[in-house]
Amino acid sequence: MERVIAHSDLNCYYASVEMLRNPRLRDVPMAVCGSRAERHGIVLTANYIAKRRGVKTGMANWEACRVCPGLYTVPPRYSDYLQFSAFVREIYSEYSDRIEAFGIDESWIDLTGCVSSFAQGEKAVHEIRGRVKRELGLTVSIGLSDNKVFAKLGSDMKKPDACTVIPKEKFREIVWPLPVGDLLYVGRATEVKLRSRYIDTIGGLAKTDPDNLKRWFGKVGLVLYAFANGEDRTQVAACGVEPPVKSVGNSHTCPRDLACDQDVKIMIYALSDSVGARLMEYGLKATTVEFSYVNTDLTAHAVRQAKLESPTDISSEIAAAAFKLFKRHYSHWPSPLRKIGVRGCGLVSADLPKQLSLWEDAAQAASKEELERTVNRLRERYGNKIIQRAIMYLDTDLSGVDAKRDHLIHPLGVFRSGAIQI
């Protein structure tokens, strides 16, 4: 049976929801932006009027206002965006039971078996696009193909409020002339490497010797080769099926620049408390801890990892490993830090048996974990400040960060643009 895969992308989603709330914003350049006061001052999304004047996702607020004088900015309202996202998926669910989210505003919809032919799939996506606009007041761009990669590519080709069809028998003439950077999972660094080898289009990638791609990029090179040749056969997940959690982390733009070890330690504890609590909620432990940083002028950034002696979900152990990474890689302090992150990776089930060392007290380890659970329950019920480490009182600006509560939603476009590393 021929596969019929759609990919939907809600146009300027955050801004579109805000314009529904306040119709007067439809006729002015506007953007949904993070808080300047909390130093999250970047554009999360903008309407098309602002985009035509040069405003881009991931741009700093001040820069957006400079390129677009008179730009109207509003703060994000994530609860509204979640609500409308659920409304949209209700419409999708009337056409298929296999809907896979790709961020809050994008979804794959597997229509295979739900329609009698690829041509009927094309009629279905036009109907979906019309219903979203008519029933919710939002516009959506939809791509239709026989695989997820080309369906995603199609939804990016025409915006706003459009459908793009890439049939299996015509993908070479439609897809191959496109820039290689348009292909899903070809990031900025990969694109630069490909272009340095004169591979500028998706077709050029498709015709490259796969052995060379494997030598240049490892197994990822073979994956990209398959994608460029329309050989993606990954399945669309069924409704309600969540992908396995591969890592748990938080990064935060600090309330002020971090200028000394104490500043970093306070922020690491604030982030590690969230990471440890969420690991416990998921019933997971981390075998590896990752520390990331960005300096004040955005010229230096890095991600560093270290393997732990044994898996953990204890925040103090995660914090100790992250701080050790910081000291190893940034103790010379070439410049203050603007943003840091802590992540637990290499996750395993918390129920797995633990190999104790000769010097480890099993009863003490169990008591430490139970204490951590008690602290998490107290914070969940009464707020993050109900119980804190003594070091947190040395700087209430930094320790006021509640990374777990603030761990909400970020537009994937920001991450893809390179403005934010996660």
Write the DSSP symbol of residue 341.
Answer: E
Amino acid at 341: G
List Cα–Cα distances, 332 to 266, 326, 335, in angstroms: 19, 10, 9
Six token digits for residue 349: 């089930």
Q: How many CA atoms lie within 13 A of 390 on its CB side?
A: 0
Catalytic (active site) residue 106: yes
Amino acid at 336: P
* CB-based contacts of 240-247 (< 8 A; 24+ apart in sequence): 245/282, 245/284, 245/347, 246/345, 246/347, 247/286, 247/290, 247/343, 247/344, 247/345, 247/347
Give the span between the Cα atoms of 298 and 255, in whole angstroms.
Answer: 16
Name the residue among 326, 322, 180, 345 with its Cα closest to residue 249: 345
Give the span between the Cα atoms of 101 and 92, in whole angstroms.
Answer: 11
- Alpha carbon 130 to its chain centroid, in Å, reads 28
- Number of residues that make up the chain: 422
Name the residue among 286, 293, 299 with its Cα closest to residue 252: 293
Distance from the first to the final alpha carbon of the chain: 38
Give the span between the Cα atoms of 172 and 185, in whole angstroms.
Answer: 19
Output the CA torsion 143→144→149→152 (10° steps). Answer: 10
Please tell me whether the peptide bond between 179 and the residue prior to it is cis, using omega within 30 degrees of 0. Answer: no
CB 313 within 8 A of CB 279: yes
CB 2 within 8 A of CB 168: yes
Amino acid at 270: A
Catalytic-labelled residue, pool 106, 122, 317, 372: 106
How many other C-beta atoms lie within 10 A of the C-beta of residue 34? Answer: 20
Catalytic residues: 106
